[in-house]
């Protein structure tokens, strides 16, 4: 099943090139705040699934006639893996950027966090601060969406705790500041275009992740190339914290990262999951100056 959000918080199931409003079948009030109805749907999916499938058999509207929103906007945890493809770690070795090199270099392991408030959706815009002295990069990633609470889950058990997958762009300001800050700028985590449930995605080893800028392919890899694989990522993260339904783990990116500038168009696609294209616009420079704080 492909399930997402559209038109101010409605829950929709994507059927071909249409979307069917299943908000009522899910018991979700689109006007609720905070907008966490989709997380309740994920948490209760096995119980709700028959009613959702009955509703999804009804009439839909063309996808082109709605505004798709990020499938999840308020995850409790938005986690991401660094240096998880060998070719990307290699390309980052020895690089330095204005504001100095990466704070942790290409050897960092484990995971980091991005702010949930950096999430935008497939109909949104990536807004890059107008700071010509800095580089702002795209990173093509797979979003792993947790379906069931997970504490100290083994890799062998991990698939039981995964709800589905989505495309995720980990937009990143290069530089020496804390990674979490450079990656948490508003609009720096596009997720979408919806969540495809794990049963519909099927085996993940051959999933191909691809990203284009202005129509030119910049990144591509297969999920099997992840150093910490999908199952191991759940084991790793759940060994540190309890993962909850709706939590997201970003896979890490592959070689080919590069700068985004205003006017660009970024497309990300993952087999059996979906694709989305976002424009890039300029935003005001970051108000705070870091120059005097860096050593
Ligand atoms: Mn990344």
What are the tens digits of pLDDT across the range 61-80?
A: 999 999 999 999 999 999 99
In the reported structure, the alpha carbon of residue 137 is separated from the centroid of ligand 1 by a whole-number distance in angstroms of 10
pLDDT digits (tens, 9 = 90+) for 26-36: 999 999 999 99
Structural domain boundaries enclosing 22 = 2-69
Per-residue model confidence (pLDDT) at position 262: 98
For residue range 78-106, list pLDDT tens digits in order: 999 999 998 898 898 878 776 544 544 55
- 64 Cα: distance to centroid of ligand 1 (angstroms): 30
Please say whether the beta carbons of 233 and 247 come within 8 A.
no
Helix, strand or coil, per DSSP, at residue 234: helix
Report how far ligand 1's centroid is from the alpha carbon of 122 (Å).
18
DSSP string, 41-83: HHHTHHHHHHHHHHHHTS--EEGGGS-EE-S-S--S-EEE-SS
Look up residue 133 and give its two tokens.
């002295």
How remote is the CA of residue 187 from the centroid of ligand 1, in Å?
A: 14
pLDDT at residue 293 is higher than 70: no
Tally of structural domains, the chain: 2
Average pLDDT over residues 164-192: 96
Q: Which residue has the higher pLDDT, 293 or 56?
A: 56
Q: Are residues 57 and 108 in the same domain?
A: no
- What's the 121 CA to ligand 1 centre distance in angstroms? 17
Calculate how far, in angstroms, residue 264's C-alpha sits from the geometric centre of ligand 1. Answer: 19
Average pLDDT rounded to a whole number, residues 284-292:
82
Is there a cis peptide before residue 4, judged by omega within 30 degrees of 0? Answer: no
Instruction: Name the one residue in this structure whose structure tokens are 């997958």.
Output: 165
In a domain, 230, yes or no: yes
- Mean pLDDT value across the chain: 94
Q: What pLDDT does 96 receive?
A: 73
CA of 232 relative to ligand 1 center, distance in Å: 17
Tens of pLDDT along 92-145? 887 877 654 454 455 678 999 999 999 999 999 999 999 999 999 999 999 999
Give domain status of residue 291, yes or no: no
Mean pLDDT in residue range 9-35: 97
Instruction: DSSP for 145-183, please give it.
Output: EE-S-BSS--GGGGGGGEEEEEEEE--EE-SSS-HHHHT
Q: How many CB atoms lie within 10 A of CB 236?
A: 20
Distance 26 CA to ligand 1 centre (A): 33
Quote the ligand 1 centre to 140 CA distance (angstroms).
7
Q: What is the pLDDT of residue 100?
A: 44
Q: Compute the average pLDDT of residues 148-152.
A: 98
- State in Å: Cα 46 to ligand 1 middle: 31
Instruction: Evaluate the CA torsion angle 29, 31, 37, 41 in order and state its sign.
Output: positive
Cα of 139 to ligand 1 centre, how many Å? 6
Please write the tens of the pLDDT for every residue from 179-212. 999 999 999 999 999 999 999 999 999 999 999 9
Same domain, 246 and 214: yes
91 within 8 A of 59, measured Cβ to Cβ: no
Classify residue 295: in a domain, yes or no. no
> Which token pair is 72?
């999840």
51 Cα to the center of ligand 1, angstroms: 37
pTM confidence score: 0.95
Is the domain of 162 the same as that of 229?
yes
Do you know the residue count of the chain? Answer: 295
- 137 & 28 share domain: no
Calculate how far, in angstroms, residue 30's C-alpha sits from the geometric centre of ligand 1. Answer: 31
Measured in angstroms, how far is the CA atom of residue 253 from the centroid of ligand 1? 5
Give the Cα separation of 37 and 70 in Å (integer). 13
Q: Is 241 within the bounds of a domain?
A: yes
Say if 136 falls within a structural domain: yes
Q: Are residues 257 and 126 in the same domain?
A: yes
Q: 3-class SS at 186?
A: coil
Which range among 157-166, 173-182, 191-200, 284-293 shows the weakest confidence by mean pLDDT?
A: 284-293
83 C-alpha vs ligand 1 centroid, how far in Å?
A: 8
Same domain assignment for residues 82 and 139:
yes
């Amino acid at each position: 099943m492909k399930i997402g959000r559209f038109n101010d918080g409605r829950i929709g199931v994507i059927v071909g090139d249409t979307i069917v409003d299943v908000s009522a079948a899910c018991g979700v009030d689109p006007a609720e705040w905070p907008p966490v109805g989709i997380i309740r749907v994920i948490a209760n999916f096995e119980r709700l699934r028959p009613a959702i499938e009955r509703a999804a058999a009804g009439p839909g509207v063309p996808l082109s006639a709605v505004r798709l929103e990020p499938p999840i906007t308020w995850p409790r945890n938005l986690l991401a893996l660094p240096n998880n493809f060998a070719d990307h770690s290699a390309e980052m070795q020895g690089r330095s950027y204005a504001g100095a090199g990466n704070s942790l270099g290409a050897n960092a392991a484990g995971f980091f966090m991005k702010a949930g408030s950096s999430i935008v959706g497939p109909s949104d815009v990536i807004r890059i601060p107008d700071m010509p002295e800095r580089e702002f990069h795209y990173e093509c990633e797979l979003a792993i969406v947790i379906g069931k609470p997970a504490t100290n889950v083994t890799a062998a058990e991990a698939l039981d705790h995964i709800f589905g997958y989505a495309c995720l762009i980990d937009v990143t300001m290069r530089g020496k500041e804390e990674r979490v800050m450079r990656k948490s700028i508003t609009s720096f985590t596009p997720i979408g275009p919806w969540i495809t449930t794990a049963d519909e995605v099927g085996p993940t080893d051959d999933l191909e992740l691809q990203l284009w800028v202005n129509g030119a392919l910049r990144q591509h890899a297969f999920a099997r190339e992840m150093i910490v694989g999908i199952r191991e990522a759940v084991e790793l993260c759940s060994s540190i914290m309890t993962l909850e339904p709706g939590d997201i783990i970003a896979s890490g990116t592959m070689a080919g990262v590069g700068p985004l500038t205003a006017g660009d168009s970024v497309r990300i696609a993952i087999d059996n999951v979906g694709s989305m294209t976002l424009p890039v616009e300029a935003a005001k420079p970051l108000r705070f100056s870091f120059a005097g704080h860096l050593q």
